[in-house]
Amino acid sequence: MPTSSQTPAGVSTFRLKISYWYVNHKLQLRKWLVIFLILLSVILYAYSSYRVVDIFFFSGKNYANDVNSLTVKAIDYQQFHQTQKPAPLVIDSFDALDGREGRYDFIAKFSNPNENFIGREVTFQLIAGSKIIAEKTTYIFSKEKKYVGFFGVETGGTAPILKISKINWQRVSNFAPFAANHLDFAITDVKFTPAAQAGIRGQLPISNLNFTIKNNTAYNYWHVGLYLVLQGGTKPAAANYTTVDEFKSGESRKIEMRWYEQLAPVGGEEILPEVDILNPDSFMPVD
Look at residue 7 in the predicted model and tell me its pLDDT: 53
Quick one: 246 and 283 in the same domain? yes
The boundaries of the domain holding residue 33 are: 13-63
**Can you give the pLDDT at residue 15?**
77
- Final residue belonging to a domain, choices 132, 151, 172: 172
User: What's residue 255's pLDDT?
Assistant: 97
| Neighbouring residues of 116: CB distance < 8 A, sequence distance ≥ 6 | 86, 142, 171, 172, 173, 175
Of all residues in the chain, the percent with pLDDT exceeding 70 is 88
pLDDT tens digit string along 233-255? 888 999 999 999 999 999 999 99
* Interval 194-236: pLDDT, tens: 887 766 666 678 899 999 999 999 999 999 999 999 998 888 9
| 183 Cβ neighbours under 8 A, 6+ residues apart | 217, 273, 275, 277
3-state secondary structure of 23: helix
pLDDT at residue 4 tops 60 = no
Residue 247 is predicted with a pLDDT of 97
pLDDT for 198: 62
Convert 44-54 to b/e letters by CB count within 10 Å (16 or more is b): eeeeeeeeeee
Q: How many domains does the chain have?
A: 3
Shared-domain flag, residues 178 and 168: no
Residue 92 lies in a domain: no
Looking from the CA of 217 toward its CB, the CA atoms found within 13 Å total 21
Question: Quick check: is 260 in a domain?
Answer: yes
Q: What mean pLDDT, rounded, does the chain reach?
A: 87
Query: 254 and 279: one domain?
Result: yes
pLDDT (tens digit, 9 = 90+) per residue, 78-116?
Answer: 665 556 789 999 999 999 987 677 789 999 999 999 999
Q: What are phi and psi of 126, to 5 degrees?
A: -95, 120
- Kindly tell me if the per-residue pLDDT of 57 is higher than 80: no
Domain endpoint, select from 172, 207, 225: 172
Residues 186-201: tens digit of each pLDDT:
999 999 998 877 666 6
What count of other Cβ atoms lies within 10 Å of the Cβ of residue 169?
A: 16
Please report, for the domain that includes residue 283, its CATH number: 2.60.40
Indicate whether 38 belongs to any domain: yes
pLDDT reading at 153 higher than 70: yes
In terms of pLDDT, which residue wins out, 86 or 57?
86
In a domain, 191, yes or no: yes
Q: Are residues 144 and 122 in the same domain?
A: yes
Q: Is 3 inside any structural domain?
A: no
Same domain assignment for residues 115 and 210? no
Q: Are residues 183 and 282 in the same domain?
A: yes
